[in-house]
Amino acid sequence: MHAFLSHNHQDKPLVNPLASRLRMLGVEVWLDSWEIAPGDSIPGKVNEALGLADTALVFWSSNAADSRWVDTEWQTAITRRLSDDSVRIIPIVLDATPLPPLLRPIMYVSLTDRDFDRAAREVAGIKSRAEYNQRAQEFFTTSGMEPRWFRGVGSLVGCPQCGAPSSELEPVELDRIMEHTLLVFFGARCVHCDWVDGTET
């Protein structure tokens, strides 16, 4: 599957996690922020990507409904589908905004519950969580990435700020007293750029 991700930039916090999971599952993902470099023609790159993709994921929300870009992209995908039955369009519903009439008859994937793993399985046609886990494991094994688990953060394959590998991350545990209560911070810190994240308990 070669998927073009049509979305409004305000929905990136929901689009990016799904895009990453799809890429992990072996889907060729075209996402503007990953593929368009400074100096590139944005319309040219989008036009080229829409012409090559066999699947258009249309992330639908109140933001998308007000976007002329998203409107143009999904209509272009519909036009391609009319002349090529192999082109798939999958609406990804982000909120309660009604789909446009031309997209309503198409089976959609709901992301209103923010379950990115389930949504990725549905888009990629993976039936079970076991197969999803096997594909994820295969991705990490073949990519050379080494996920590490940190209390207070979870699993990390690298620094979200500078991209340093997980070997450059160290666990963090800090005690502090606040209003006569002992709070313990658990997290991770990047030794390269000093990024820190975690939770207090």
Over the chain (201 residues), what is each successive 10-residue block's mean pLDDT?
95 92 90 89 91 94 96 94 92 97 96 94 92 86 82 86 86 79 86 88 77
Confidence at residue 199, expressed as pLDDT on a 0 to 100 scale: 86
Domain interval for residue 187: 148-200
Give the Cα separation of 173 and 160 in Å (integer).
Answer: 19
Residue 76 and residue 105 share a domain:
yes
Confidence at residue 185, expressed as pLDDT on a 0 to 100 scale: 86
> At which of 143, 165, 191 does a domain end?
143
Residue 131 and residue 152 share a domain:
no
Confidence at residue 157, expressed as pLDDT on a 0 to 100 scale: 85
Residue 165 and residue 74 share a domain:
no
Phi, psi for 103 (deg, rounded to 5): -95, -15
Task: Give the H/E segment covering residue 70.
Answer: helix 68-83
Give residue 60's region: left, alpha or beta (phi > 0; psi -120 to 50).
beta
Confidence at residue 178, expressed as pLDDT on a 0 to 100 scale: 67
Residue 53 and residue 15 share a domain:
yes
In this structure, are strands 196-200 and 181-190 parallel, antiparallel, or unpaired?
antiparallel
Phi, psi for 191 (deg, rounded to 5): -75, -15
Give the Cα separation of 2 and 22 in Å (integer).
Answer: 10
Confidence at residue 169, expressed as pLDDT on a 0 to 100 scale: 93
Residue 103 and residue 14 share a domain:
yes
**CA neighbor of 60 nearest in space, from 27, 19, 104:** 104
Residue 183 and residue 165 share a domain:
yes
> At which of 143, 162, 190 does a domain end?
143
Residue 45 and residue 129 share a domain:
yes
Confidence at residue 19, expressed as pLDDT on a 0 to 100 scale: 92
Tokens representing residue 155 in the block: 């699993």
Residue 165 and residue 72 share a domain:
no
Residue 152 and residue 57 share a domain:
no
Residue 95 and residue 157 share a domain:
no
Confidence at residue 118, expressed as pLDDT on a 0 to 100 scale: 94
Burial zone of 98 (CB within 10 Å; 0-12 exposed, 13-18 middle, 19+ buried): exposed
> At which of 100, 121, 143 does a domain end?
143
HSE of 144, CA atoms in CB hemisphere, 13 A:
1
Long-range CB pairs of 14-17, under 8 A, 24+ apart, other chains included: 14/59, 14/94, 14/111, 14/114, 15/59, 17/116
Return the DSSP state at 76: H
Domain count, the chain: 2
Residue 104 and residue 86 share a domain:
yes
Residue 6 and residue 94 share a domain:
yes
Give the Cα separation of 181 and 196 in Å (integer).
Answer: 23
pTM for this model (two decimals): 0.75
CATH of the domain at 25: 3.40.50.10140
From edge to edge, which strands make up the β-sheet containing 169-178? 169-178, 181-190, 196-200
